[in-house]
Structure 1
Amino acid sequence: MTVAVRTRPSLRFRGRSFMALVLAPVVPMRDWLEDLDAVSKRSPGFFSGRAIILDVSELKPSKSELKFLLAALKMRDIRIIGLEGAAPSVLDDDMPTAVNGGRAAGDIEVPDIEAVALPVKAPQPATVSALLVEGSVRSGQSIIHTEGDVTVLGSVASGAEVVAGGSIHIYGALRGRAIAGCTGNARARIFCSKLEAELLAIDGLYKTADDLGAQHHGHRVQVSLDSDSIIVQTLD
């Protein structure tokens, strides 16, 4: 009797290369984000569908600063597939994968920000919507509301973040990250009943826990911008 032996094709691995766009932010971060927004306004689909690597070797960010930057890019619908130049100590499991060894492939043409005059529209009444979170924001959660204010009736845990186009009001303790005025609103503010934040940011300017010091720790505060400075004031 003849027994048929079924043979499987051998497992094959193929290499394929793709072009990736590398974003290399520089300080001051607010100016860099404004330039990024100008590119998006000039060519709304410029970042859409691109594989994008974030090179932070010039910034040498802390973990909180890197999380702020990734959140700012996420709000702009810029998807980062890999991180280059970040110290292993600042990387978390929920961040893009660390990459290295890429070869430069020349510059990619971007719209000329200075040469193009964008049309000026007449002021329109702002449509503001508020988001109410009835409870606390747990570690690992992100509340993102770019259309207006965010009010949290509970606390914001360490490792959680609240992002708003307007102001942020937290009735409990703020232990995570609060990012207000994310769409370019320098008049936005942050209010909380107990300040223990990992990061505070308004309109692209930020302070980490190390920058905040102990003076306002544990107090009820409001946070605002004064020119290029973040001001933290204790509330009675």
Structure 2
Amino acid sequence: MSGTHSNSSRIRMSGRSFLALTLTPETPLVDWLAALDHQIQRAVGFFAGKPVILDLSLMQADTPDLPHLLPALQERGIRVLGIEGGDRSWPAVADWAWPESPMGGRASGPVSIPEGEKTPTLAPTLVVEESVRSGQHIIWPDGDVVILGAVSSGAEVTAGGSVHIYGALRGRAIAGIGGNADSRIFTRNLAAELVAIDGFYATAEEMDAQCTGKPTQVMLAGETLVFKPLP
């Protein structure tokens, strides 16, 4: 008869933050989906890799075409992370695989889908000739973003390419969305709340203290964000 063996092992866990977009469909759903298709055509790849919260607060149990809404979003490559504002007991959504919305999220203001080319030969650069104020969000999935001013605390700049900030970075800068791991973040004064490249994040507490308040570039080496002083 063998004895009982107890084996205790640790599970490695870490935290990661993401910006989730919220879609709030309106009736009639056929027209809303047509408008969504138009937006997607304007900025190809905008929803790629982005988590989306589906807000059903404007829907009713008997809204026409409601059963087809979630499958229609999935067919468009939109990844629904959570659903809120509706009622899962509605017969119209009985066949949905209803994901629970993440807890603790907070609204971050409206997001505009930028104009974009369907088949660009050269990724365009967005130049913002002023500072980005608290509560503002700049999203440019096609190329680099150049901010001639500062990025205030509570503001966010997101780019498919690199982020260049000629002033202080006190808010959040996210580069390389959509899988561009070679993107970088440049700022004349690193005082950021969060920086991220290709999905790998660092909060203020995790940044290199030697670069705080100084001209800095941030790059990705493997799965680690590296902070280097700028000359």
Query: TM-score under structure 1 normalisation?
Result: 0.53
Please tell me the residue identity of whatever aligns with 1:233: K
| Aligned partner (choices 70, 83, 99) of residue 52 of structure 1 | 83
Counterpart of 1:206, as a letter, is: Y
Shift of 1:214: 2.2
| 2:185 equivalent among 157, 169, 190 | 190
Given residue 177 of structure 1, which amino acid in structure 2 is its aligned partner? R
Q: What SS is found at the alignment partner of 1:215?
A: helix
Residue in 2 aligned with 1:164?
A: 159
Offset of residue 170 of structure 1? 0.3
In 2, the alpha carbon distance for the partners of 1:168 and 1:144 equals 11
| Unmatched 5+ stretches in structure 1 | 1-25, 54-79, 96-123
Change (3 A) 1:38 1:44: farther
* Structure 1 CA distance for aligned equivalents of residues 214 and 227 of structure 2: 10
2:223 corresponds, among 215, 225, 228, to 228
2:126 is aligned with 1:131: yes
User: Is the alpha carbon distance of 1:214 and 1:50 closer, same or farther for their aligned partners in structure 2, counting shifts above 3 Å?
Assistant: closer
Structure 1 residues 213 and 39: CA distance shift in structure 2, 3 A: closer
What's the CA shift for 1:183?
1.3
Tell me how far 1:51 sits from its aligned partner.
Answer: 5.9
Distance 1:129 1:38, change over 3 A: closer
Which amino acid in structure 2 is aligned with residue 212 of structure 1? M
Matches within 5 A, 1:1-236: 37=49, 44-45=75-76, 47=78, 52=83, 82-84=101-103, 86=104, 92=106, 94=108, 127-236=122-231
- The letter of the residue matching 1:222 is Q
1:172 Cα offset (Å): 0.3
Distance 2:220 2:81 in 1: 34
Amino acid at match of 1:234: P
Amino acid at match of 1:140: G
The alpha carbon displacement at 1:178 in A equals: 0.2
**SS state at 2:150 partner:** coil
For the aligned residue pairs, the C-alpha RMSD in angstroms reads 3.7
Query: Deviation digits for residues 84-134 of structure 1, max 9, x if unmatched?
Result: 2x3xxxx65648xxxxxxxxxxxxxxxxxxxxxxxxxxxx98530000000
Give the AA of the match of 2:172: R
* Alignment coverage as a number of residue pairs: 147
CA distance in 2, matches of 1:159, 1:27: 24
- CA distance, structure 2, for counterparts of residue 212 and residue 142 of structure 1: 22
Give identity over the alignment, percent: 45
Structure 2 CA distance for partners of 1:29 and 1:199, relative to 1, 3 Å: closer
Distance between the aligned counterparts of 2:154 and 2:172, measured in 1? Answer: 7
Which letter maps to 1:227?
A: G
Look up the equivalent residue of 1:184 and give its one-letter code: G
Partner AA of 2:199 in structure 1: G
